Copies of this chain bind each other. A is one copy, B any other.
């Protein structure tokens, strides 16, 4: 969507240094942008790329405008500004409102006329789909599920029965929301399945990555707060509560009934055990597992970086012998007395 820099500066609150009449139609990285494209710069390590960019314009911080060989769109937060401008230049494909002839929609489902149901979609009994939704090919929406306005279920998504999804929610391909939690009672004859009769509530403006899984509650509901961002292959167990605006990177896992605060961030492969409470503004580094209640905001870690195996094995051997080292020190202390 071609737009002039003047228009962009006005719409997105930037100060323009350069020709307001220059037109851009898409975004690209500093290194690959052409003269019809816009980029952004916020990481000083990339200054050489900035200085050599062929972009028509670059979004920069006030201090960086002088290094910009192209028109500069000056903003205090170039990345967020870029995100908004990129969304305007690259809007999603317009909806083809209506239901594809191959979709199977229960006669007792309610689908807004403004929404698009793509090929091979299945919508169950009493399900409700709001205005301007895109329900992508192969997606299954279970009985009694509710999907708010302006949602986008990309493809092959599964929404289980009774799940409640807010507005402007994006579910990427293969995501499963509302599957049964892992509830089993141990008996002498083996496991007895515990029916998972709770639900799942997903707030407004949530995004859930490809092949992630979020379970419904055992009795009460699993709850995903507003503005939560979840990457691919993440597991959220039954009765977990994720606070508003928390971000969860790929392959994280949250065990049952964990309660996570607002604005937390979990790096890849991290997570928590079950039945703990984590306060707001907690950051967990990659692979870290929180194992008890956390009441102090801050950064948490337990990561040993991989290193050459000979070095690692030597350290691991020392670790295994810590007991003996401790005893030798005690011996020395006794002798010294």
Chain A positions near chain B (C-beta within 8 angstroms) = 26-29, 31-32, 39, 77, 79-80, 82-84, 86-87, 90, 93, 100, 102, 104, 118-120, 122, 136-138, 140, 142-143, 154-156, 158, 160, 170, 172-174, 176, 179-180, 182-187, 190-195, 197, 205, 207, 209-213, 215, 219-220, 226-227, 229, 231-233, 235, 237, 244-245, 247, 249-251, 253, 255, 268-271, 273, 284-292, 296, 298-309, 312-316, 318-320, 322-323, 325-326, 328-329, 332-333, 335-336
CA distance A23 to B309 in the complex (A): 47
Contacts of A287 in B (CB 8 A): 287, 289
B332 touches A323 (CB 8 A): no
Q: Are A323 and B329 also in contact (CB < 8 A) when A104-B120, A191-B245, A211-B213 are? A: no
Kindly provide the distance from the CB of A27 to the nearest chain B CB, expressed in whole angstroms.
6
Contacts of A158 in B (CB 8 A): 138, 154-156, 173-174, 210
Contacts of A303 in B (CB 8 A): 289, 291, 312
B83 touches A193 (CB 8 A): yes
Contacts of A322 in B (CB 8 A): 315, 318-319, 322, 325
Contacts of A329 in B (CB 8 A): 325, 328-329, 332
B299 touches A308 (CB 8 A): yes
B250 touches A253 (CB 8 A): yes
Contacts of A118 in B (CB 8 A): 122
CA distance A141 to B120 in the complex (A): 13
State the 5 A-B residue pairs at the shortest beta-carbon distance, nearest first.
Answer: A288-B306, A158-B173, A104-B119, A318-B322, A291-B305
Contacts of A32 in B (CB 8 A): 219-220
Nearest residue (CB) in B for A106 is B119
Kindly provide the distance from the CB of A294 to the nearest chain B CB, expressed in whole angstroms.
9
Contacts of A312 in B (CB 8 A): 300-303
A174 touches B138 (CB 8 A): no
CA distance A114 to B138 in the complex (A): 25
A289 touches B288 (CB 8 A): no
Q: Are A250 and B273 also in contact (CB < 8 A) when A306-B302, A318-B322, A322-B319 are? A: no
B289 touches A305 (CB 8 A): yes
Kindly provide the distance from the CB of A268 to the nearest chain B CB, expressed in whole angstroms.
5
Nearest residue (CB) in B for A220 is B29
Contacts of A212 in B (CB 8 A): 211
Q: Are A190 and B245 also in contact (CB < 8 A) when A79-B185, A176-B172, A287-B289 are? A: yes
B292 touches A305 (CB 8 A): yes
B174 touches A211 (CB 8 A): yes
Which of A155, A284, A289, A332 neighbours the largest number of chain B CB atoms within 10 Å of its CB?
A155
Contacts of A229 in B (CB 8 A): 182, 184, 191
